[in-house]
Amino acid sequence: MKRNNFSLPEPVSGSFTFRNKMLSKGLLSEKQLQHDILKNKSTFLIISIFILFLTVPSLAQNSQINWYSFSSGFNTSATVNTTSISSVGESFGGKISNGSSSIITGFLSYQANGSIIGGVIPNLPIPIGTGSAEVWGDSIYYFGGSSNWTGTIIYQRIYKFDGVSWSYYDSIPDYSLWGIETILVDNNVYLLGGYPSGTSLNRKYNLTTKEWSNLTESPNVSQAYGLTSEYYNGKIFLFNNEGRVFAYDIAGDSWETKTPNSVSGSYPNLRSVLYNGEIYIVGLGGLGVPGFYKYTPSTDQWTKLEDSPYPVYACEMGIINGLIYCVGGNNNTYALYKSAAIYNTTTNSWTVDSISISSNRDWMASVKYRGSFYVIGGLGATSFAVNIVEEIIPHGTVDIDDEEELVPTEYKLQQNYPNPFNPGTIISWQLPVGSLVLLKIYDILGREVATLVNEIKGAGYYKVNFDGSSLASGIYIYRLTAGNYISTKKMLMIK
């Protein structure tokens, strides 16, 4: 499917400034909230009418979606050319939803069903698969990768996403970057393996100084790509498809061979995730065997777990709401899956969610960024790289929970996205400390229409889906109260 190129306008934004005395009390009465809203009522109504007036003719006449500048948020004009939009509701559609989860694709993208959906991370600047990505500070760094399965072009470069856009960041001094494995520790990224000749390579890149260092090579001598690794308690644990485990002591720049798994994989396509001090690994087992194992680094022990629901290799794994997600992947040949298999560590059981990414892909990269789990790039079903970035969002409050996630330093309520929306949108916030969280939706007259959250939440990043299918078009207000913090923003639904 052809994808359209376009520039991105900023979403609707804006918030009310509450009086200091109200902030000090940590709450506002419904009457006070209504007063603040009504002060801006006339402006809001004019904005809504203005958008509808400009948008509808455009859709009817030339099947385009136009975004226009106005004082409360859109600050540039952009046009998205489409071919199958049949109504305003479709053109401003909010999310792709199947059952219990949603997929948000790219920064703003057109989907086959005619809906427009928004995200935080735009697509990669070029199609890349088999690379690896890390998050440091508020930026994403993508290392290496290739243009296709055969490695016709291997990219000796690092791309950086700074929160707004991707750009070239630095070069990589070696060529063994197909299937590269990376681990972030402090401000250093450790690069392990990589096709064609990086089997035992171990190099370090300092994100601050942009300096490279060659470190003691690993004992891995049999597999250049498809390795997987996790960081735990000062050591990097490296796994290959023979079931072998090597532990790299960062302080001592030395390697130690650990207890191997008695089961090996049929092909170098391993993937893993660290959760609660355990390393969960898919890809071990013979051809067509859905093997799934847990390695405990503190005791050097392996545990056989419930087999995955289907044989899967080279998927991407992440933790959402305490569940392990395995997204996409292959069956030892080409990209076969776009589905998500979900593992529950408490019950040792798998389910296959109705969620799916937009196309079959394997050899993607993944990151946890601003409280969300993203899959980046990868190889498609034809074994050529893609530039797609997609976010995995289950319904309900989302908590990205793993050892790598940083605790926020401040309270913050994010602007919802997509905005405008129909009928669904995502509201995100962050907490530096545990708090009683109250998140409510109000209409333009200050009447409460929904309570999305009313419970104690720990420090971290959160988001919730809001379904406005039962509401009329118009401006709505959402307000977050957490301890003494209050923030209110507006959003626009257009049916």
Are residues 141 and 278 both part of a single domain? yes
Residue 370 has pLDDT above 50, yes or no: yes
Indicate if 477 and 376 belong to the same structural domain. no
Q: Would you state the pLDDT for residue 59? A: 31
* 420 and 356 within one domain: no
Tell me if 475 is assigned to some domain: yes
Q: What percentage of the chain exceeds 90 in pLDDT? A: 58
Whether residue 111 is contained in a domain is answered as no
Report the percent of the chain where pLDDT is more than 70.
73
Q: Are residues 458 and 352 in the same domain?
A: no
pLDDT in tens, 59-98: 333 222 222 222 222 222 233 333 332 322 222 223 333 3
Map tokens 């959760």 to a residue. Answer: 275
Same domain for 231 and 306, yes or no, is yes
Which one is predicted more confidently, 52 or 224?
Answer: 224
Residue 24's CATH number:
2.60.40.1930
**Together in a domain, 90 and 210:** no
Contacts of 150 by beta carbon, 8 Å cutoff, 6+ apart: 383
Grade residue 406 by pLDDT with cuts at 50, 70 and 90: low
Q: Which single residue is written with the structure tokens 């355990």?
A: 278
Give residue 228's pLDDT: 97
Model confidence at 495, pLDDT cuts 50, 70, 90, reads confident
Last-in-domain residue among 327, 353, 387? 387
Question: What's the number of domains the chain is made of?
Answer: 2
Residues 105-120 pLDDT 10s: 443 333 333 222 335 7
Q: 234 and 285 share a domain?
A: yes
Q: Does the predicted TM-score (pTM) go above 0.85? A: no
Q: Is residue 394 part of a domain?
A: no
Is 116 part of any domain?
no
pLDDT at position 426 = 87
Query: Both 414 and 368 in a single domain?
Result: no
Q: pLDDT for 319-357, tens place per residue?
A: 988 899 999 999 878 899 999 999 999 999 999 987 789
Confidence of residue 31 (pLDDT cuts 50, 70, 90): very low
**CATH number, domain containing residue 188:** 2.120.10.80
Would 125 be classed as within a structural domain?
no
Q: Identify whether 423 is preceded by a cis peptide bond (ω within 30 of 0).
A: yes
- pLDDT of 174 reads 95
Domain range spanning residue 46? 20-94+407-493
pLDDT of amino acid 72: 27
Q: Is there a single domain that holds both residue 334 and residue 283?
A: yes
